[in-house]
Amino acid sequence: MKVLRTIIWVLAAIGFLIFAIYNWQPVELTLWQNVVLETKVPVLALLAFIAGFVPMWAYHRSVAWGLNRRLRALETSLKNTAMARSAEPTPAAAADSSVDKSGKSAGETADPFSASDGAGDGSAGE
């Protein structure tokens, strides 16, 4: 993916260079009534690109930062839950109960999503 991003940036840079070569003309930009900025067209185009790119990039980084924080919090919660579950002692009575060939105890219901009944083997009901 980084290669594709690099190719796109290189093509954009080449396109901007071609634009700059063919449009290297001075322009006057009136900022206020008595403030006039004389610059070249490519510089003005580059400033316009940066003015549009930087806010969108900052927004993207803030969303990515928030999502990364949320992901880390969920991973920590999952890890804490798994550690708490592994620390629970197993009851001795569960070891004495009868277990059928599917691995379920006598009182447990079968998991409807398990592949032990043959429905999940890809045979499509044949």
Residue 115 lies in a domain: no
- Overall domain count for the chain: 1
**Count of CB atoms situated within 10 Å of the CB of 102:** 11
Structural tokens at position 101: 């060939």
Q: pTM surpassing 0.75?
A: no
Residue 69 lies in a domain: yes
Structural domain harbouring 74 = 15-85
Report the SS3 class of residue 115: helix
Q: What's the pLDDT at 126? A: 47
Written as tens digits, the pLDDT of the chain (126 aa) is 999 999 999 999 999 999 999 999 999 999 999 999 999 999 999 999 999 999 999 999 999 999 999 999 999 999 999 888 887 776 665 555 565 566 665 556 666 666 555 555 555 554
Residue 110 φ/ψ, nearest 5 degrees: -75, 145
Q: What's the pLDDT at 88? A: 74
